[in-house]
């Protein structure tokens, strides 16, 4: 699954570059308004990747358009907290949780559980 590969690659990038990750995800908020705006732009642009979720099922199309941005914000918040606590090495273990957060609003809770379970079965590195 392409999205899973990207998530794993992103997690690996954070784990392998802890100083840069900390600077980009945590310290940017101390760098002033321009850096904060840039961080928020990155989160918003990630939300674009979730837009396809509104087409997944009829119920998803009724979700507020802010849903994708809220999901992106939640995912970035979890990642930021791990990095701020210098627990970046734990990030890969959180990929199933982050995947669930990304897809559950669009697929429904039960389908999200089943999809994440299927991904973990196909890609044991997600477990």
* Domain annotation covers residue 127: no
> 17-31: per-residue pLDDT in tens?
777 777 777 777 778
Report the pLDDT value the prediction gives residue 6, as an integer from 0 to 100. 65
* Domain annotation covers residue 46: yes
pLDDT surpasses 80 at 8: no
pLDDT surpasses 50 at 1: no
Cβ-contact 11, 92 below 8 angstroms: yes
pLDDT surpasses 80 at 51: yes
Q: How many domains does the chain have?
A: 1
- Give the pTM: 0.79
Q: Domain span at residue 90?
A: 2-122
Return d(Cα 127, Cα 114) in angstroms, integer: 14
Return d(Cα 127, Cα 120) in angstroms, integer: 6
Report the pLDDT value the prediction gives residue 112, as an integer from 0 to 100. 94
Higher pLDDT, 32 or 102: 102
* Domain annotation covers residue 67: yes
Q: Is 65 exposed, middle or buried (0-12, 13-18, 19+ CB in 10 A)?
A: exposed
* Domain annotation covers residue 113: yes
* Domain annotation covers residue 58: yes
Share of the chain above pLDDT 70, in %: 91
Mean pLDDT over the full length of the chain: 84
* Domain annotation covers residue 18: yes
Report the pLDDT value the prediction gives residue 99, as an integer from 0 to 100. 92
């Amino acid at each position: 699954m392409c999205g899973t590969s990207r998530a794993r690659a992103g997690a690996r990038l954070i784990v392998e570059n802890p100083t840069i990750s900390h600077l980009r995800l945590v310290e940017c908020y101390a760098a002033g308004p321009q850096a904060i705006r840039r961080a928020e732009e990155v989160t918003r642009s990630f939300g674009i990747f979730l837009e396809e979720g509104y087409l997944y099922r009829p119920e998803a199309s009724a979700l507020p358009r802010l849903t994708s941005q809220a999901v992106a914000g939640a995912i970035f918040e979890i990642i930021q907290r791990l990095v701020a606590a210098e627990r970046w090495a734990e990030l890969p273990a959180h990929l199933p949780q982050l995947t669930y957060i990304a897809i559950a609003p669009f697929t429904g809770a039960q389908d999200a559980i089943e999809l994440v379970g299927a991904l973990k079965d196909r890609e044991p590195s997600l477990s």
